[in-house]
Structures are given as structure tokens and as C-alpha cells.
């Protein structure tokens, strides 16, 4: 007996997108249609077979291996990172400002101290 598929058009559907009333498990004859452990479904309304692939596979029959895809950074995580970076930059700038002000105060105190020493210095009469 020849294997016959309902249609040449095949679609890949994620598990959460198969409504109960639209997809039925494939018959025993078509159960091996999907590769790499994918689950075969017959989509009655379209008269076609479809595969629900395991997480690491994709393609109309789950024939393509897919490396794990990393999730992009969410907007919230990006915002938190930006706030942290800006806060650190502000703290660094404030640190330099405090350092500069203290350095200038010490230099001013040193100049005043030197000036006072010169003022009270008694010159000998010779």
C-alpha cells in the first residue's frame, strides 16, 4: 500500500496555536510524516498534514536542527542597565568634583599659611 499525503502544502504550527477543533492526530499511516520526534496533526479545514516540532527543530516536517535561540534583552532589563550606567557615571563625576574642591581648599590653606609666616617673620637689622 502506498503512502499518500493529503496535500503537498505543509505548514509548521507551534503547539499553542493548534485549536482542539482544528487539528487531529494523524492516522497510523501518516504518523511518521514528522521527523525528529515531531508530532503529526491533520488540519481538517485545510486538508493537510502539519507538524508540531520539538524545541530544537524547525521546518515543515521538523527536518532542520535549530540551535537554542537566546531571548533579546527585555525593555525593562535594558532600562535598568541604562539607569545603573548613568548612576555610576554621575557618581564618578561627583567624586572628581569633590576631589578637585578639596585639592583647591588645601592649596588655598597652604598659600594662606605661607603668607602668614612671611607677614610675621622678623627681619634682623644689620
Q: How do residues 64-113 score in pLDDT, each as one tens digit?
A: 998 875 666 677 888 899 999 999 999 999 999 999 999 999 999 998 88
Q: How far apart are CA 26 and CA 104, in angstroms?
A: 83
Under CATH, domain 11-65 is a member of which superfamily? Answer: Laminin (2.10.25.10)
pLDDT band at 23 (very low <50, low <70, confident <90, very high): confident
The yes-or-no verdict on residue 9 having pLDDT over 60 is no
Cell numbers found for residue 27: 492516522
Q: How far apart are CA 75 and CA 77, in angstroms?
A: 6
Domain residue limits, the chain: 11-65, 70-118
Q: How do residues 28-66 score in pLDDT, each as one tens digit?
A: 888 889 999 998 988 877 888 889 898 889 999 999 998
Distances (CA, A) of 105 to 92, 95, 98, 111, 119: 20, 15, 11, 10, 21
pLDDT at 112: 87
pTM, full prediction = 0.40
The yes-or-no verdict on residue 114 having pLDDT over 60 is yes
pLDDT at 93: 98
Amino acid at each position: 500500500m502506498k503512502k499518500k499525503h493529503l496535500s503537498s502544502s505543509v505548514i509548521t504550527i507551534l503547539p499553542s496555536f493548534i485549536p482542539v477543533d482544528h487539528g487531529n492526530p494523524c492516522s497510523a499511516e501518516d504518523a511518521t510524516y514528522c521527523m525528529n520526534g515531531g508530532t503529526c496533526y491533520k488540519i481538517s479545514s485545510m486538508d493537510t498534514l502539519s507538524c508540531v516540532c520539538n524545541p530544537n527543530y524547525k521546518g515543515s516536517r521538523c527536518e532542520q536542527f535549530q540551535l537554542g535561540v537566546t531571548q533579546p534583552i527585555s525593555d525593562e532589563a535594558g532600562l535598568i542597565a541604562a539607569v545603573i550606567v548613568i548612576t555610576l557615571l554621575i557618581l564618578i563625576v561627583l567624586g572628581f568634583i569633590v576631589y578637585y574642591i578639596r585639592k583647591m581648599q588645601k592649596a588655598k590653606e597652604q598659600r594662606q599659611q605661607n603668607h602668614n609666616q612671611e607677614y610675621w617673620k622678623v627681619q634682623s637689622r644689620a
